[in-house]
């Protein structure tokens, strides 16, 4: 039988791209050929990450002259602010003719995996008779609950403006939610009939008509929600993660052959016997100048050792912070290999925005989380981390909202609790157990390992019929 051929098209953001690059490796290991679609400006990141593989990369011209998107910007992390992300996502649809032209020229395709934000690829898939899998990069928990509330719009309209009012979703009675736990597009009546909400509902509809969903999670972690999804919503979710566990071992050397400076710094902390808090908020979070100030004060007062990956220019304010914390704090402004940092034995806690990849990577590295969600599915991820699987503690915002302000006093207290307190000990123990289960899921015979084999067999048998 010929090898399966899989087309992958990630969305233009790092958080959506990185895990599917790991997935591409898994498919290659199982004998598949993989063709990956991207755009010219995103190509270098992808080709560097997959330099040692046989993946074919095709870049499609990204639409130009789009209102709100500066020339040359083709990924969400380069947007001047994240409020423009749906513009970028909507513009991507203009790549459809190029995508279809390329599909037409490729050898027979067994199935395609395209991002949930590229719902228009479903029409192309149907045109060519190719089964489409959707990849959202969300947990089963967040997907199931977001879709469940999207179906209960009236509930939110009736609720008026109280974002903190608690409610339960009939199918998930044991957890209380507030509107703050959800992306506004699902629960805020003001979002109804906007360009953004129309876009989201198009993606949801395309998902519903697709063959299946690939989930970067493992069944044992959230079986209740995976079952709920498969029973009540669909299409079938295939849990094949954590995908980060199939990444090649971190290259802890820079191009010049020397160990990266932050790894050397972590090595030093290990020799001193000092645990380190890793602070990072993903690839694209917008954080206000005032909030950055509070983070600095909180970290300084907490007295903990920390490594902070700063993606925000405002952290460059010359306020003497770096000098004052020089013995125990390191600010890194470059792109880092986050897994390598999390896996360093001196790293004992992660102050995270709870992007789903960060949560998965933290679990796999057995590092407990101090959860500070900021947007999108992050509040739901934080809820899962703290209330469902109990591998982290939660930072509270002033107004309880998903993207509200956190005071330095609260940050200081919770950082100490995570790194030195009894609650911190409890979640550290739990994350080790869950990290062990994650490793089992992807090992030969594990649930994720089996799910990916079943998926390939099912789809490949279809194509060769």
Stretch that binds ligand UDP, among 218-226, 253-261, 351-359, 393-401 (CB under 6 A): 351-359
246 binds ligand UDP (CB under 6 A): no
Binding positions for ligand UDP, 274-333, rule CB under 6 A: 282-284, 309
Min dist. Cβ of residue 355 to ligand UDP (A)? 2
Beta carbon nearer to ligand UDP, 5 or 16:
16
Q: Are 368 and 341 contacting, i.e. CB atoms less than 8 angstroms apart? A: no
User: Going residue by residue from 387 to 426, which x/- string records binding to ligand UDP, judged by CB under 6 A?
Assistant: ----------------------------------------
Min dist. Cβ of residue 1 to ligand UDP (A)? 34
Stretch that binds ligand UDP, among 211-219, 293-301, 336-344, 387-395 (CB under 6 A): 336-344
Are β-strands 5-9 and 33-38 bridged in parallel, bridged antiparallel, or unpaired? parallel
Q: Which residue is nearest to ligand UDP (CB)?
A: 15
Min dist. Cβ of residue 438 to ligand UDP (A)? 15
Measured CA to CA, the distance from residue 289 to residue 294 in angstroms comes to: 9
User: Going residue by residue from 177 to 206, which x/- string records binding to ligand UDP, judged by CB under 6 A?
Assistant: ------------------------------
User: Going residue by residue from 352 to 371, which x/- string records binding to ligand UDP, judged by CB under 6 A?
Assistant: ---xxxx--x----------
Min dist. Cβ of residue 307 to ligand UDP (A)? 11
**DSSP per-residue letters across 159-187:** TTT-TT--EEETTEEEEEE-GGGS-HHHH
Q: How far is CA 375 from CA 110, 194, 355, 410, in A?
A: 35, 18, 9, 20
15 binds ligand UDP (CB under 6 A): yes
**Half-sphere exposure (CA, 13 Å, Cβ side) for 290?**
4
Beta carbon nearer to ligand UDP, 22 or 460:
22
Q: How many residues bind ligand UDP (CB under 6 A)?
A: 16
Token representation of residue 225: 């929600």
Token representation of residue 148: 């469940």
248 binds ligand UDP (CB under 6 A): no
Instruction: From 99, 115, 186, select the one nearest 376 (Cα to Cα).
Output: 186
Measured CA to CA, the distance from residue 48 to residue 119 in angstroms comes to: 27
Are β-strands 392-394 and 329-332 bridged in parallel, bridged antiparallel, or unpaired? unpaired
340 binds ligand UDP (CB under 6 A): no
Q: Are 52 and 248 contacting, i.e. CB atoms less than 8 angstroms apart? A: yes
**How many residues make up the chain in this entry?**
465
**DSSP per-residue letters across 264-280:** HHHHHHHHHT--EEEEE
Residues that bind ligand UDP (CB under 6 A): 14-15, 18, 282-284, 309, 335-338, 355-358, 361
């Amino acid at each position: 039988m010929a090898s399966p051929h899989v087309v992958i098209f990630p969305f233009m953001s790092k958080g959506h791209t990185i895990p599917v690059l790991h997935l591409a490796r898994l498919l290659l290991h199982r004998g598949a050929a993989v063709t990956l679609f991207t755009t010219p400006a995103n190509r270098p990141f992808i080709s560097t990450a997959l330099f040692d593989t046989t993946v074919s990369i095709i870049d499609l011209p990204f639409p130009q002259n789009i209102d709100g998107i500066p020339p040359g910007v083709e990924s969400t992390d380069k947007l001047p602010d994240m409020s423009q992300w749906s513009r970028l996502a909507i513009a991507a649809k203009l790549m459809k003719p190029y995508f279809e032209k390329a599909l037409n020229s490729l050898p027979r395709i067994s199935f395609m995996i395209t991002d949930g934000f590229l719902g228009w690829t479903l029409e192309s898939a149907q045109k060519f008779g190719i089964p489409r899998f959707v990849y959202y990069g969300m947990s089963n928990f967040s997907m199931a609950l977001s879709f469940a509330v999207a179906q209960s719009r009236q509930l939110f309209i009736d609720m008026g403006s109280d974002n903190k009012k608690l409610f339960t979703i009939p199918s998930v009675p044991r957890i209380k939610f507030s509107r703050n736990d959800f992306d506004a597009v699902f629960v805020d009546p003001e979002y109804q009939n906007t360009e953004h909400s129309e876009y989201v509902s198009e993606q949801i509809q395309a998902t519903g008509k697709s063959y299946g969903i690939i989930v970067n999670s493992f069944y044992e972690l959230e079986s209740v929600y995976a079952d709920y999804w498969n029973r009540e919503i669909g299409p079938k979710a295939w849990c094949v993660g954590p995908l980060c566990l199939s990444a090649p071992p971190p290259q802890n050397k820079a191009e010049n052959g020397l160990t990266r400076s932050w790894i050397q710094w972590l090595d030093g902390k290990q020799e001193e016997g000092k645990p380190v808090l890793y602070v990072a908020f993903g690839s694209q979070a917008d954080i206000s100048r005032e909030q950055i100030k509070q983070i600095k004060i909180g970290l300084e007062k907490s007295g903990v050792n920390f490594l902070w990956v700063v993606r925000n220019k405002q952290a460059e304010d010359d306020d003497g912070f770096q000098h004052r914390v020089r013995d125990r704090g390191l600010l890194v402004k470059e792109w880092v290999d986050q897994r390598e940092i999390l896996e360093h034995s001196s790293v004992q806690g992660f102050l995270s925005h709870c992007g789903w990849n960060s949560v998965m990577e933290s679990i796999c590295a057995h590092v407990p989380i101090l959860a500070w969600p900021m947007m999108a599915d992050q509040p739901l991820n934080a809820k899962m981390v703290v209330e469902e699987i109990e591998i982290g503690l939660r930072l509270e915002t002033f107004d309880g909202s998903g993207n509200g302000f956190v005071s330095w006093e609260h940050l200081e207290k919770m950082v100490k609790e995570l790194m030195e307190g009894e609650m911190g000990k409890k979640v550290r123990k739990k994350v080790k157990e869950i990290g062990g289960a994650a490793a089992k899921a992807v090992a030969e015979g594990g649930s994720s390992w089996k799910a990916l084999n079943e998926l390939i067999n099912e789809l490949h048998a279809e194509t060769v019929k």
